[in-house]
């Protein structure tokens, strides 16, 4: 088994040399290209280039052909704004988001980093009311080049008013690759999309190699809103497994909902709990009913990070979710320093944001 793990790690190491343009130990990006002196194009050249640009047509994940301007300058996001914004920011286009987040995202500090990735959103028009209904007059006044949605309910009311609407989804694990590819096409950032998909695969392969020898010693994990006995997204079953964990809720799904009880938690006796609400940590620790549960006894109750979006849900940050979880489960396999470097490098490379040491520490330490 040790020989198998060594071979796996060597293969991952070789493949990883191509990822993120070679992030160095200092978190800086390196490149094999010689520096080229940049010159500002003449105004006449810029105008000629813009005139030569033609509209593009993409096929969205509802099978619809959508024609878009070749150079999208403004983007409006609807519904699952945290998820959608993260896709846009991944492409380096966060500065094109033209609307603020709705109240359910902006009423707490949970999504505060969204305003660091796209500061122009603060105070911009809000395009849905507290009930999730479109404020269509405000949308039309904004007149975005591109509307991004993850619910088909938005398509008709937006499209019937002459707006360009692209629908994408993330229902199955592999949908993220289709969605990222679509986003790259819509924003003409195909190179970034390809870069990310290579990164995604390499991170998953690296985690698999690191946990190859865990075998039957996998730690059991309970993720979700534990006091409400809900697990918000089936995608968690995938990233828990990818991190070398054994999800206790994997067999509890009925009609796309995870159903379990307090008695189930006591029976499962999870080694680690990862919760979606920070207040839940104290609730669990102070509840005598859970005092003999392994995760509580061993102080292994953690709060899932939220940066661009909630790491445990559908988010392009999912590769980091895997390594954050892996570190919680098996800290001897990935050190805190290595995890911090992966976090810093990801947001620097893709989101063009340099996180402070304090921000990185707050992501890593959530118990």
Please report, for the chain, the start and end positions of each structural domain, with discontinuous segments joined by +: 52-188, 213-364
pLDDT confidence of residue 33: 31
Q: Region 339-347: what's the mean pLDDT?
A: 98
Q: Please tell me what DSSP assigns to residue 148.
A: E
Assigned architecture for domain 52-188: 3-Layer(aba) Sandwich (3.40)
Q: What is the pLDDT of residues 128-151, one digit of tens each?
A: 998 889 999 999 999 999 999 999
Q: Region 100-109: what's the mean pLDDT?
A: 90
> Residue 99: what are its φ and ψ, rounded to 5°?
-120, 155
pLDDT at 29 over 50: no
Judge: domain 213-364, CATH 3.40.50.1980.
yes
Which residues sit opposite 29 in a β-bridge? 23
Query: At which residue do the structure tokens 């499209």 appear?
Result: 159
> What distance in Å separates the CA atoms of residue 18 and residue 195, rounded to the nearest whole number?
9
The tokens describing 348, both together, are 């620097």
52-188 with 213-364: one CATH topology?
Answer: yes
Q: Is the pTM of this model over 0.85?
A: yes
Q: What is the pLDDT of residues 54-97, one digit of tens each?
A: 899 999 999 999 999 999 999 999 999 999 999 999 999 999 99
pLDDT band at 259 (very low <50, low <70, confident <90, very high): confident
pLDDT at 321 over 50: yes
pLDDT band at 44 (very low <50, low <70, confident <90, very high): low
> What distance in Å separates the CA atoms of residue 273 and residue 134, rounded to the nearest whole number?
37
> What distance in Å separates the CA atoms of residue 125 and residue 141, rounded to the nearest whole number?
10
> What distance in Å separates the CA atoms of residue 237 and residue 234, rounded to the nearest whole number?
6
CA angle 140, 146, 150 (to 5 degrees): 100
Note whether 327 and 367 are within 8 A (CB).
no
């Amino acid at each position: 088994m040790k020989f198998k793990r060594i071979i796996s790690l060597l293969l991952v190491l070789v493949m990883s040399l191509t990822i993120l343009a070679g992030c160095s130990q200092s978190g800086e990006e390196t490149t094999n290209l010689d520096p080229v002196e940049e010159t500002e194009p003449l105004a006449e050249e810029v105008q000629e280039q813009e005139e030569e640009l033609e509209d593009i047509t993409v096929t969205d994940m509802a099978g619809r052909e959508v024609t878009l301007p070749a150079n999208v300058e403004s983007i409006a996001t609807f519904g699952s704004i945290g998820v959608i914004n993260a896709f846009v920011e991944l492409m380096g286009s966060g500065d094109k988001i033209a609307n603020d987040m709705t109240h359910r995202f902006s009423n707490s500090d949970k999504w505060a980093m969204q305003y660091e990735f796209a500061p122009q959103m603060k105070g911009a028009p809000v395009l849905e009311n507290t009930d999730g209904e479109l404020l269509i007059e405000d949308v039309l006044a904004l007149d975005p080049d591109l509307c991004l949605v993850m619910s088909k309910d938005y398509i008709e009311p937006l499209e019937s008013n002459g707006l360009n609407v692209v629908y994408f989804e993330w229902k199955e694990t592999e949908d993220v690759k289709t969605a990222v590819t679509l986003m790259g096409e819509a924003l003409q950032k195909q190179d970034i999309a390809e870069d990310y998909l290579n990164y995604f695969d390499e991170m998953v392969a690296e985690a698999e190699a690191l946990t190859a020898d865990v075998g039957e010693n996998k730690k059991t994990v309970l993720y979700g809103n534990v006091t409400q006995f809900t697990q918000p997204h089936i995608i968690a079953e995938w990233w828990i497994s990818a991190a070398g964990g054994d999800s206790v809720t994997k067999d509890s799904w009925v009609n796309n909902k995870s159903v379990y009880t307090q008695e189930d938690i006591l029976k499962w006796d999870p080694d680690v709990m990862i919760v979606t609400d920070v207040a839940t940590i104290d609730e669990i620790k102070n509840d005598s009913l859970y005092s003999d549960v392994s995760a509580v006894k061993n102080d292994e109750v953690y709060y899932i990070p939220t940066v661009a979006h909630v790491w445990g849900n559908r988010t392009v940050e999912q590769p980091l979710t895997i390594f954050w979880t892996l570190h919680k489960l098996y800290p001897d396999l990935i050190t805190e320093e290595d995890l911090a470097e992966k976090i810093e490098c990801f947001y620097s490379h893709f989101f063009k944001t340099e996180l402070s040491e304090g921000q990185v520490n707050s992501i890593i330490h959530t118990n």
